[in-house]
Amino acid sequence: MAKITPLSGFPEYLPEQRIVEQHFLDVIRSTFELHGFPSIETRAVEPVERLLGKGGDADKEIYGVHRLAGETSGGRDGGGGDGGAGRREGAELGLHFDLTVPFARYVLEHAGRLSFPFRRHQIQKVWRGERPQEGRYREFTQCDIDVVDVGELAPHFEAEMALVVAEIFAALPLPRMTIMVNNRKIPEGFYRGIGLDDVAGTLQIVDKLDKVGPERVVELLVESGASPEQAQQCLALAQIRSSDTSFVERVRELGVEHPVLEEGLAALAAVIEAGSAAAPGAMVADLKIARGLDYYTGTVYETAMEGYESWGSFCSGGRYDELASDGRTTYPGVGISIGLSRLLGLVFTEGLVEASRKTPAAVLVAVTDEESRAASVAVARSLRGSGVPCEVAPAAARFGKQIRYAERRGIPYVWFVGAGEDGGDQIKDIRSGEQVDAVAEEWRCPVADLRPQVVAAGQAPGHG
C-alpha cells in the first residue's frame, strides 16, 4: 500500500477545527431556518451534459465518475440506472460543481410537488478539478439560499437574500463583512446608452478593475474598439460606490440615458433602501461588481471582509431569469451562496477563530477502578439525562492521568465518584482547580460550558 499523503485541494480538519466548522454551519442553518428556508439536498452527481450546459468555463473543472467494475467489462456506465456494463448515450455522470445548476434541475424535476414561490436552503459539498491554491479547493462546502417562482419573480426577494447573509455574518466571530450589490442592467443599459453593444466583452474588461487598475482598463477598452471617451465613461460608472441611494444621482451626472439603465437603477435603489433600513451599513451599491457566471440577469452580490479584501469574495450570487426552464415554463430565481470552505481557509490560515475544546464533552467521569466502572457509567447516564455531554474515562489510571486526559481535550470538568467526605461524589473544575460536592441527578452545567465556545481568537473565556 502506498504511503499516506494528503491530497492537495481536499482539506481535512482536525476535531477542534471541525468544531469551528460546525459552529459556522449551525449559525448558517439556524439563520436560514429563521427566515423560513426549508432544506433540500440534491444528489452529488448530474449528467455531464447538464453540468456543461451552464456556468461559463466550468467544463474544464468537472470530475466525471465511472464504475470501476463497469470499466473492466468494456466502456463506462456512469451509474445511470440498470447497473449493466455498457456506456449509454447521455448517461455519463459528473460531480456537481455548484448548487445552483442542480437546484434548477431539482425544480424542473419536482415542480409538480413543490409550492411556488419555492424557497429552499442547501448546504452541501461540491467538487471542481481546478488547480488548488489559497482559498481554492477541489472539494468544498457551499451554503445556498434561493427563491424561484413560476413565470415572474417579485423583486423584493433580491433584498431579502443579502439581508439573510448580513445577519449570518453579524452572528459569526469574524471581521466586518460588506455586501456589495450591483444590477447587471445598469452597465448593460449604460453601455448601450453610450453606443457600446458588446456588453459581455465590456463587462469582462471592467471586471478586471481591481486587478489591473483604471489606466489598464481604459487601454483594454480602447483596444477592444471603444473610443477614449466611451472608455472613460465606462470607468467612471465602475468607480461609483455608495452605501445609500446617492449612486443614482452620480450615475445621472454622467448624462447617459437608456430604459434598461433606468430599470437597473430603480431595482438597485430598492435593494439598497430595504437593506439600509434593515441592516444599516451591511450593504453598499458597487457598480463595478459583475460576477463571472453567465446566468445572472439582474441583481448581483459579492462580499469583502475588512482587512482581508485580497482573499476575494466569500459570498456571492444574483438573480437569474432563465436558468430553470423546461421549454414551456420558466422559473426565474434569485440566490446567494456562502463559500464556507473559502471562509474557513481564511479563518484557519490567519488563526481568526478558536474553539474552547476539542470535544463536545463537558465532563469526564473518572473511573476509580475497573470493577466500579458501572458506577461511573451510571453517573454519565444521569448527566446526559440533564443534557450534559460527557464521557467516562477510558481507563482506571491514576487520577492525575485521568485529569490530563480531560486537559488535553479541553474538557472543563472531571467527576469523581465517591470522593466526598461523606462518600458522595465530587466535581472538579480543572481550570480553577475548585472541587465541590455534587449529585449527578442535580448538577447543572453552567450554560457557557455546555457546548464548546467558538470565539474570535484571544477571546476564549475560562481557559488560562
Q: Is 289 helix (H, G, I), strand (E, B) or coil?
A: coil
Counting contacts by CB under 8 A, is residue 34 touching a second copy? yes
Q: Pick the closest to residue 237 from 212, 273, 202, 283 (CA basis).
A: 202
For residue 101, give the C-alpha cell.
445548476
Site for a second copy in 332-391 (CB under 8 A): 358-361, 370, 373-374, 377, 381, 384, 387-391
**Among residues 24, 27, 28, 63, which is the contact residue for a second copy, using CB under 8 A?**
63
| Cβ 294 to a second copy shortest distance, Å | 16
What is the closest distance, in whole angstroms, from the C-beta atom of residue 129 to a second copy in the complex? 4
110 vs 252 by CB, closer to a second copy? 110
- With CB under 8 A as the contact rule, the residue among 28, 48, 293, 417 that binds a second copy is 48
Which residues in the 392-411 window bind a second copy by CB under 8 A?
A: 394-395, 405, 408-409
Q: Interface residues for a second copy in 252-311 (CB under 8 A)?
A: 274, 277-278
The reply, when asked if residue 99 is annotated as ligand binding, is yes
Q: Which is nearer to a second copy, 8 or 227 (CB)?
A: 8
State yes or no: 142 annotated in a binding site. yes
Site for a second copy in 96-115 (CB under 8 A): 105-106, 108-110, 113-115
Q: How far is the CB of 422 from a second copy (least distance, A)?
A: 25
43 near a second copy, rule: CB under 8 A: yes
| Contact by Cβ (8 Å): 414, 428 | yes
Residues in the interface with a second copy (CB under 8 A) total 105
Residues 125-164 that bind a second copy (CB under 8 A): 125, 127, 129-132, 138-139, 149, 154, 156-157
Q: Which of 56, 74, 75, 83 binds a second copy (CB under 8 A)?
A: 83
Q: Which three cell numbers stand for residue 358?
A: 476539542
Q: Which is closer to a second copy, CB of 108 or CB of 254?
A: 108
**CB 209 to a second copy: min, Å:** 28
Q: Give the integer Cα–Cα distance in Å for 235 and 213.
A: 10
| Sign of the torsion angle spanned by Cα atoms 139, 145, 149, 151 | negative
> Comparing C-alpha atoms, which of 335, 359, 190 is closest to residue 260?
190
Evaluate whether 163 touches 277 at the Cβ level (below 8 Å): no
DSSP code string of 380-418: HHHHHHTT--EEE-SS---HHHHHHHHHHHT--EEEETT
A 10 A CB-CB count for 131 gives: 10
Distances (CA, A) of 192 to 1, 202, 221, 234, 294: 62, 11, 15, 11, 18
Q: Please name the helix (run of DSSP H) or strand (run of DSSP E) that holds residue 373, with its range, or none.
A: helix 373-385
In the bound complex, what is the minimum distance in angstroms from residue 271's beta carbon to a second copy? 13
Task: Report in angstroms how near the CB of residue 21 gets to a second copy at its nearest.
Answer: 8
For residue 156, the surrounding DSSP H or E stretch is helix 156-171
Radius of gyration of the chain (CA): 28
User: Per CB under 8 A, does 18 bind a second copy?
Assistant: yes
53 vs 420 by CB, closer to a second copy: 53
Q: How far is the CB of 428 from a second copy (least distance, A)?
A: 17
Ligand-binding site membership of 329 (annotated):
no
26 carries a ligand binding annotation: no
**Which of residues 14 and 447 has its CB atom nearest to a second copy in the complex?**
14
Evaluated on CA atoms 93, 94, 99, 101, the torsion sign reads negative
Select 226 or 403, whichever has its Cβ closest to a second copy.
403
Beta carbon of residue 211, minimum distance to a second copy (angstroms, whole number): 21
Whole-angstrom distance, CA of residue 400 vs CA of residue 70: 57
Binding residues for a second copy restricted to 159-198, rule: CB under 8 A = none
Q: Which stretch binds a second copy (CB under 8 A): 120-128, 197-205, 220-228, 256-264?
A: 120-128
Within 172-304, residue ranges assigned H as helices are 185-193, 199-206, 209-212, 214-223, 228-238, 246-252, 259-278
Does 36 contact a second copy by CB under 8 A?
Answer: yes
- Residue 414 as a binder of a second copy (CB under 8 A): the answer is no
The whole-angstrom separation of Cα 433 and Cα 69 is 60
Rounded Cα distance between 302 and 288, Å, is 11
Burial 83-102 (b: 16+ CB within 10 A, else e): eeeebeeebbbbbbbbbbbb
Please enumerate, as own/partner, the contacts of 317-322 that have beta carbons within 8 Å and a separation of 24 or more: 317/144, 317/161, 318/184, 318/291, 319/153, 319/158, 320/100, 320/295, 320/296, 321/153, 321/297, 322/295, 322/297
Q: Which of 250, 373 has the CB closer to a second copy?
A: 373
Q: Is 420 in the site for a second copy (CB under 8 A)?
A: no
Residues in contact with a second copy, shown as a per-residue x/- string from 201 to 240 under the rule CB under 8 A: ----------------------------------------
Binding-site residue numbers for L-histidine are 98-100, 128, 142, 146, 291, 295-296
Binding-site residue numbers are 98-100, 128, 142, 146, 291, 295-296
